[in-house]
């Protein structure tokens, strides 16, 4: 049966302007102010961003660091770098190339520092380069070793007939070509309601699912919440459900045999995401060779009931 809970940890009092508590991708719809940030937060940011943005930041930092040392070398005097020949091109570019050699510890032998000042800066740059590449290696390892859930939910969920009544159905699959084991799912629903003082609050319910656990997840999984007498949506019309401004949070976790640990995913839906009086289409079929073929690109496909 649907069980009302006091608060899952996100608070009960909200202004009516708050449309959703959790974004569609599972991130929290919260803007933090005054929170503390440190080196570990930068590491977390660099580990979690997209690969393209990650390499862009690394390459930009690499260029900027070398430009900084190039300016220092030019301030000391490019004549203190043996091998620079103005006939070969701008002295700044040759000093930049010397900085790249020092930063990466390549050392082709054509350029070398002269004098205590230039040699000291080169020694400092070599140390900074060593630390920078160590940090970059650690970040790369962190990105590769961090388990990333490939559980994917349909963009919408459906309100459809089920047995002798109706239901809400949520569909998901695993994009990674592995089979998850011991998969569990929970669905929370929260919607607007006024308390005895007339304040707008949020009520929270755990919605029972007809099949909350499965042993293996090789294809798709459709989570079904039957709208019966024990459901908070029992007897509600389409208009009444929309007026409740409901938000649904689907939490799924399963054992990933590749990483040998549990992987987790969450998805949030609001009333605008409901597809009324439709059903999810079957996206897998049998092949002549006896195998089952599934196209995850059709996860959002719905059909008439």
Distance CA 109, CA 103 (A): 14
- Residue partners of 60: CB distance under 8 A and separation at least 6: none
pLDDT, position 252: 93
Domains of the chain and any CATH numbers: 3-24+155-304 (2.60.40.1400), 39-145 (1.10.287.70)
How far is it, in rounded angstroms, from Cα 76 to Cα 160? Answer: 76
Asked if 108 and 94 count as a contact pair (C-beta separation under 8 A), the reply is: no
Rounded to whole angstroms, the Cα distance separating 94 from 81 reads: 9
The DSSP annotation for 7-40 comes to -SSS-SB--TT---SB-TTS-B-----S----HH
pLDDT at 224: 95
| CA 56 – CA 72 distance, rounded (Å) | 24
Quote the pLDDT of residue 143. 85
Predicted TM-score of the model (pTM): 0.67
Output the pLDDT for position 171: 95
Q: What is the pLDDT along the chain (305 residues), one digit of tens a residue?
A: 566 666 555 555 555 555 666 677 666 666 666 555 666 678 888 888 889 999 999 999 999 999 999 999 999 998 999 988 878 889 999 999 999 999 998 888 889 999 999 999 999 999 999 999 999 999 998 888 776 668 889 999 999 999 889 999 999 998 877 778 899 999 999 887 666 666 667 788 899 999 999 998 888 899 999 999 889 899 899 998 988 888 899 999 998 877 778 888 889 999 999 999 999 998 888 888 888 888 888 899 999 87
Give me 255's structure tokens: 């054992």
Question: What number of CA atoms fall less than 13 Å from residue 257's CA on the CB side?
Answer: 10
């Amino acid at each position: 049966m649907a069980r009302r809970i006091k608060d899952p940890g996100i608070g009960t009092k909200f202004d009516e302007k708050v449309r959703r508590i959790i974004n569609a991708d599972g991130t929290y719809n919260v803007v933090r102010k005054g929170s503390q940030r440190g080196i570990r937060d930068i590491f977390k940011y660099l580990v979690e961003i997209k690969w393209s943005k990650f390499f862009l930041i690394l390459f930009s930092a690499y260029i900027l660091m070398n430009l900084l040392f190039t300016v220092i070398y030019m301030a000391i005097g490019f004549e203190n770098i043996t091998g620079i020949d103005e006939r070969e091109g701008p002295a700044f570019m040759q000093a930049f190339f010397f900085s790249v050699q020092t930063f990466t510890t390549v050392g082709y032998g054509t350029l070398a520092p002269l004098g205590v000042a230039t040699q000291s800066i080169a020694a400092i740059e070599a140390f900074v380069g060593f630390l920078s590449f160590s940090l970059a290696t650690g970040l790369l390892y962190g990105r590769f070793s961090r388990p990333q859930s490939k559980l994917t939910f349909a963009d919408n969920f459906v309100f459809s007939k089920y047995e002798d009544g109706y239901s809400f159905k949520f569909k998901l699959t695993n994009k990674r070509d592995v089979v998850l084991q011991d998969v569990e799912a929970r669905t929370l629903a929260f919607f607007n309601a006024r308390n005895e003082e007339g304040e707008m609050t949020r009520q929270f319910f755990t919605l029972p699912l007809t099949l909350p656990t499965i042993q293996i997840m090789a294809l798709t999984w459709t989570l079904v919440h039957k709208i019966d007498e024990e459901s908070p949506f029992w007897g509600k019309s389409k208009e009444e459900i929309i007026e409740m401004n409901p938000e649904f949070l689907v939490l799924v976790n399963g054992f990933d045999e590749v990483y040998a640990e549990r992987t987790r995913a969450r998805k949030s839906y609001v009333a605008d995401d409901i597809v009324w009086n439709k059903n999810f289409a079957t996206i897998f079929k049998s092949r002549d060779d006896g195998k089952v073929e599934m196209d995850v690109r059709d996860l959002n496909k719905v059909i008439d009931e």
